[in-house]
Amino acid sequence: MVRDVKIEEAKNYMDKAQDFYEAALGEFEKGKYDVSLFNSTQSIILGNDCYCIFFLGKRPSKDHREAIDLHLEASRGKPSKKDVVDDALEKRGTFGYTERNATREEARIMMTKARRFLDWVKFVTGIS
């Protein structure tokens, strides 16, 4: 269920997103690609929360459809990063909750997507 959140809290979500991204980098360097990829996806999810809070004063629950729907609503017909959020949600489940292991390349790609997504959220919201 969608939750109302004070817009002032958006920066806290960006700070958390940045922390998970930095953790992803550290785990990547240790060769822990599953953990790195999972942290990258968590970074994107928290970045999306920041985006939705900033523009709507709402954040999605654990329901993946809500995350996508709110992202699109927050975009208000402008270019969105729905595909990045959708991919992160899918891969979070695949690599976090199944027997499948991430490769170095899969982890690297997700870290790149996370960095670009966070940079985009910072740009459109003005939050650093």
Split the chain (128 residues) into runs of 10 and give each run's mean pLDDT. 92 98 98 97 97 96 88 93 96 85 96 98 96
pLDDT, residue 7, reads 93
- The reported pTM is 0.94
Tokens of residue 19, six digits: 């922390």
CATH number for region 3-125: 1.20.120.330
The closest alpha carbon to 1, from 47, 62, 84, belongs to 62
The closest alpha carbon to 62, from 73, 48, 75, belongs to 48
